[in-house]
Amino acid sequence: MGISRILMATLPMALIVCSTILMLFTALSGVSHNELWLVKVDLAKLSINPSDISSNNHVTAGTNNKFIAADIGLADHYEVNVWGYCYQNKDGQRQCTKARYDWASSWLDRDAAGNASDLSGAHVTVAVPKKVENSLDLFRNIAKGAQVAVIVCLLALGATLLVGILAHFRPSLSGALSAVAWITVILVCAAAGLVSAMAAIIMDTIENKAAGYGVVGSTGTTFLAITWAGVGLAIAAAIFWLAVSCCGTPQRRSRDRRMGDKIYHGAGDSAAV
In tens, the pLDDT along 207-251 reads 887 777 788 899 999 999 999 999 999 999 999 888 877 765 544
State mean pLDDT over 15-22. Answer: 95
Q: How many CA atoms lie within 13 A of 45 on its CB side?
A: 9
* Residue 180 to residue 192: CA distance in whole angstroms: 18
At residue 45, the pLDDT reads: 82
At residue 111, the pLDDT reads: 41
Does residue 108 have a pLDDT over 50? Answer: yes
Q: Where are the alpha helices (DSSP H) in 65-129?
A: 103-107
* Residue 17 to residue 13: CA distance in whole angstroms: 6
At residue 236, the pLDDT reads: 95
pLDDT digits (tens, 9 = 90+) for 165-211: 888 788 788 888 889 999 999 999 999 999 999 999 999 988 887 77
Does residue 252 have a pLDDT over 80? Answer: no
pLDDT digits (tens, 9 = 90+) for 120-137: 334 455 556 666 778 888
Q: Which of the pair, 73 or 266, is modelled with greater confidence?
A: 73
At residue 87, the pLDDT reads: 86
Q: Where are the alpha helices (DSSP H) in 41-121?
A: 103-107
The answer to whether 75 touches 89, Cβ cutoff 8 Å, is yes
The answer to whether 227 touches 22, Cβ cutoff 8 Å, is yes
Q: By C-alpha distance, which of 35, 38, 36, 40 is closest to 215?
A: 40
At residue 129, the pLDDT reads: 61
User: Cα separations (Å) of 213 from 49, 68, 207, 246?
Assistant: 9, 9, 10, 58
Q: Which residues pair with 217 in a beta bridge?
A: 41
Region of residue 157 (phi > 0: left; psi between -120 and 50: alpha; otherwise: beta) = alpha
| Highest mean pLDDT out of 3-17, 140-154, 246-260 | 140-154
**What's the pTM value of the predicted model, to 2 decimals?**
0.78
Q: Which residues contact 52 (CB under 8 A, 6 or more apart)?
A: 126, 127
At residue 146, the pLDDT reads: 94
* Residue 266 to residue 217: CA distance in whole angstroms: 75
Q: Which of the pair, 273 or 26, is modelled with greater confidence?
A: 26
Q: Residue 273, SS3? A: coil
At residue 14, the pLDDT reads: 93
pLDDT digits (tens, 9 = 90+) for 43-82: 888 777 766 655 444 445 445 567 777 776 778 888 999 9
Q: What is the mean pLDDT of the chain?
A: 78
At residue 144, the pLDDT reads: 92
Does residue 32 have a pLDDT over 90? Answer: no
Count of C-beta atoms within a 10 Å radius of residue 3: 7
Does residue 270 have a pLDDT over 60? Answer: no
Q: Which residues contact 65 (CB under 8 A, 6 or more apart)?
A: 50
